[in-house]
Amino acid sequence: MKVEQISIFIENKSGRLAEITRILGDAGINIRALSLADTSDFGILRLIVNDVEKAKSVLKECGFTVNKTEVIAVEVPDRPGGLSCILQALDTDRINVEYMYAFVERCAGNAVIIFRFDDTDKAIHTLTGSGFTILEGERLYSM
Amino acid sequence: MFYNEEFETLPRPALEALQLKRLQSVLERVYANVPFYKALFERYGVRPADIQGLDDLQRLPFTTKQDMRDSYPYGLFAAPMDEIVRIHASSGTTGKPTVVGYTHRDIETWSELMARSFVAAGAHKGDIIHNAYGYGLFTGGLGAHYGAERLGASVIPISGGNTKRQIMIMQDFGSTVLTCTPSYSLFMAEEAKAEGVDFKKLKLRVGIFGAEPWSEAMRGEIEAKLNLAAIDIYGLSEIMGPGVAIECIEAKQGLHIWEDHFIPEIINPQTGQRLAEGERGELVITTITKQGIPLIRYRTRDITSLTYEPCICGRSHARITRMSGRSDDMLIIRGVNVFPSQIEAILVGIEGVEPHYLLVVDRIGNLDTLEVQVEVDERLFSDEVKVLQRLAKQIEKEIKDMLGVTCSAKLVEPKTIQRSEGKAKRVIDNRKL
């Protein structure tokens, strides 16, 4: 039920994003979704890619600090209030969203949102219990 | 003007005879009372009775900061604890501070030497002395305070910090003498300007600045901005505290070191050989009247030179030139002594932090800044911003708690900190002094 995401530490200086995307492109890795968290001093780039292990190793070889984290991809009805009902279900069970970002492609007419929760397993339980669709990693990487 | 004319102008032959008598006496005392010195002298095959002239001082071994650390906290004290009336401490090279103890007579001596220093700087009874050196374990605050009281001046024990209040008090209380670090004086000048206070309208006449290195250019800037005569003072807690040496206002050409209590030498820091008058090297001081913790040939690590040329002020005591650096890696940041090894020990103590770090020191708006760059490896890294921000805050807090110096921690990518062959470069000091 979980999706593997890689996160990369980057200093706030010019050319770092270009460098990372160049390394991934040269290795034939396709970026499926991304989010960049930035502070005044540093940033964290989070990526969903089609080949997690390869992406991790090529970036490490180039001296980047890379971590792998488990996140969840949820299908969100593409209509007003779609995201809101998911968040309400989570709030009722007191599950905290650490961060979230949207996936580029649609899945069966629905939007796809990547979530990072403080308690991933509990979130899966809540979401499936409330009838929401969670996407498998394999499906997502090849979408 | 003198505080103790007889001793401050003692002709050199009489001064040297007094030094020899006091040196022989202190050597007998440390040999009898401090096991460290007895063992050290025996190892070097020298006994107090072998010292028959001031030149024989060169036969004695040095005392170092490491020796003080090995004897932590009281191992080098030469007086029993029931005679110690005050304890001060300064930064050691790692977690533990360097501890010094004073007998009642040591405090009396310190007060007199500080009073002499005030007079040499142009202060007198009737002055209102605004003492912005920190009060506490640091010797600056209390050292200047006791000297000011001995002189009979009115002392305002304001200590450091809270600059707006400092300026208000200077204005309202009519302070005439300011004591603080040179960089803090310039910071005050800027704050005053922002507050619309004109230093030219204040009664300040003299500023006595020390605890960190400064330059002639900075003197010019301070004198112009604060409208006072800026005087350089030197001291270190191991030897006594502030008032070991001071410039006279008449010449402002080198700092008179109170030779009836201290014997200065300049050595080559690599070979330990004594250098001739005027040559630049490391200052070594022997305390000849101290009771609490007398130190024999203490290596200060401060780089300077010595001159015995007569001075226009009439004092017969030798002068050291402005300190121009250190023979070790100690940094002085806003008056606080910081060794890179101390920061390394703190970083290692924070779980997971690999000690790949770099200290960047700068001076921005007249205040020293310290940036601690730490490389983020996989053990430290998180996909959550708050975890990394917490790490940076923890580094800042622990350095502040342990060393008393404010820094900003910056997380950097691995391998961004340059590695040279052998010893890594740990410090970049961008300050232009």
Buried b / exposed e across B291-314, counting CB within 10 Å, b at 16+?
A: bbbbbbbbbbbbbbbbeeeebebe
Q: Give me the pLDDT at residue B367, please.
A: 83
Can you list the residues of chain B whose pLDDT is less than 70? 91-95, 351-355, 419-424, 433
Is B28 within 8 Å of B50 (Cβ atoms)?
no
Residue B243 to residue B253: CA distance in whole angstroms: 16
Q: Do A41 and B410 touch (CB under 8 A)?
A: yes
**Chain B residues inside the 8 Å CB shell of A98:** 384
Quick count: other Cβ atoms within 10 Å of Cβ B225? 19
**Chain A residues inside the 8 Å CB shell of B376:** 9, 42, 65
pLDDT tens sequence across B353-385:
666 889 999 988 778 899 999 988 888 899 999
Fold of A3-70: VC0802-like (3.30.2130)
Q: Give me the pLDDT at residue B357, please.
A: 86
| Per-residue pLDDT of chain A in tens (143 residues, 90 and over written 9) | 789 999 999 998 888 999 999 999 999 999 999 999 988 889 999 999 999 999 999 999 998 999 999 999 999 988 899 899 999 999 999 999 999 999 877 887 889 999 999 999 999 999 999 999 999 888 887 77
Residue of B nearest to A44 (CA): B383
Is B403 within 8 Å of B359 (Cβ atoms)?
no
**Structure letter (DSSP) for residue B3:** S
If one looks up domain A71-141 in CATH, what number appears? 3.30.2130.10
Domain B332-429: homologous superfamily in CATH: ANL, C-terminal domain (3.30.300.30)
- Whether the model clears a pTM of 0.90, i.e. scores above it, the answer is no
Write down the ipTM of this complex. 0.87
Residue A97 to residue A120: CA distance in whole angstroms: 10
Fold of B5-328: Rossmann fold (3.40.50)
Element at B81 (helix H, strand E): none
Structural domain spans, chain A = 3-70, 71-141
Q: Which residue has the tokens 């410090």?
A: B427
Pair of tokens at residue B390:
């917490």
Residue A17 to residue B341: CA distance in whole angstroms: 35
pLDDT tens sequence across B152-165:
999 999 998 899 99
Q: Give me the pLDDT at residue A138, please.
A: 82
**Nearest residue, CB atoms, B383 vs list A41, A44, A64:** A44
Residue B377 to residue B389: CA distance in whole angstroms: 15
| Whether B414 contacts chain A with CB within 8 A | yes
**Chain B residues inside the 8 Å CB shell of A13:** none
Pair of tokens at residue B51:
């010292």
Is B256 within 8 Å of B120 (Cβ atoms)?
yes
The amino acid that residue B266 corresponds to is: I
Is B344 within 8 Å of B357 (Cβ atoms)?
yes
Same fold, A3-70 and A71-141: yes
Residue of B nearest to A63 (CA): B414
Structural domain spans, chain B = 5-328, 332-429
Is B138 within 8 Å of B98 (Cβ atoms)?
no
**Nearest residue, CB atoms, B383 vs list A39, A64, A69:** A69
